[in-house]
Amino acid sequence: MAELTYRQAVARGIAQEMDRDPTVYFIGEDVAAAGGVFKTTEGLQDRFGPERVRDTPISEEAITGAVMGAAMNGLRPIAEIMFSDFFATCWDIVANQIAKARYMTDGQITLPLVIRAANGGGARFGAQHSQAMENWAMAIPGLKVVAPSNAHDVVGLLAASVRDDDPVVFLEQKSLYASRQEVPEGEIVGELGKAAVVREGADITVVALAAMVPRALEAAETLAGEGIDVEVVDLRSLVPLDVTTVLNSVVKTSRMVTVEENPRLCGWGAEVTSIVTEEAFYDLDAPTLRITTPHIPLPSADTLEDLAMPSAETIASELRRVGNG
């Protein structure tokens, strides 16, 4: 058992799959000798050489186009888009080409590729480098969307993503990079589309993703001292979406709150809420509640960014209202 940071888990997950499968290779901006702008890929080029770990020009279109062609020809590439915001510059390739090629060729072409990106706020990078863009990808048929909340899941879900025959958008919440967790030695392979109940509870179900999971857990511990027992479900992936785990939890607790970093309009919590309302309406004892970021560009000033993003204190306050309602 070794203690890994979330950023170290990225390198371990990539290395595990590159060791196992010679068709896996890795490209991106400053990912080789420099080890990545967030230091998530340190040592990979030294270990696997410049043919399998290589830097690219500053062109997201070139990166995504290259891995699409490689995947169509039998490789399993991993690409890094430095900030998830930069998907906006290559969205045609991702949404109109990568996401649709397998379907439009009736499965004659598969695209087993992973596109990683640092995602979300909390690091004071401002509106153009702090967006949580999982909803962008979730809305495109043909893409799988993964967003781990801890180091163990980074390794396991990255492995599962590399082994999957569909394109996967793998989002690493940048404010989690320094977080630590004990991770077992040996091969770790997760399961896409399988949520985790990370805290058992009886009174309220909280459904969260990525950085909102530890904040929800902190809020749950606060409320435990007040006699409100909160269950926390870590979705881990949005596509596939583990509806069964969410519904089973809601049936048990009869109350549900979603916590998402995304701006409120069209957030993933709205989809989860819609499903729960359709499938478990008569099991609910209170209206569902969504906790989100306001529909604004995220500020770079620390106090304003903290105010905009859901905090453990905000989550606890809203859960208190639901639990006492």
- Residues of the chain by 3-state class (helix, strand, coil), percent to 5: 40, 20, 40
Pick the catalytic residue: 7, 52, 129, 255? 129
129 is annotated as an active-site residue: yes
Rounded CA separation 314/51 (Å): 48
- Report the 3 state secondary structure along 158-196: HHHHHHCCCCEEEEEEHHHCCCEEEECCCCCCCCCCCCE
Q: Is 118 exposed, middle or buried (0-12, 13-18, 19+ CB in 10 A)?
A: buried
Asked if 145 and 99 touch (Cβ cutoff 8 Å), the reply is no
Rounded CA separation 108/237 (Å): 26
Q: Which residue type does 215 have?
A: R
38-42 own/partner pairs: CB under 8 Å, 24+ apart: 38/7, 38/118, 38/174, 38/177, 39/7, 40/7, 40/10, 40/11, 40/118, 40/172, 40/177, 41/10, 41/11, 41/14, 41/80, 42/11
Which are the catalytic amino acids?
A: 129
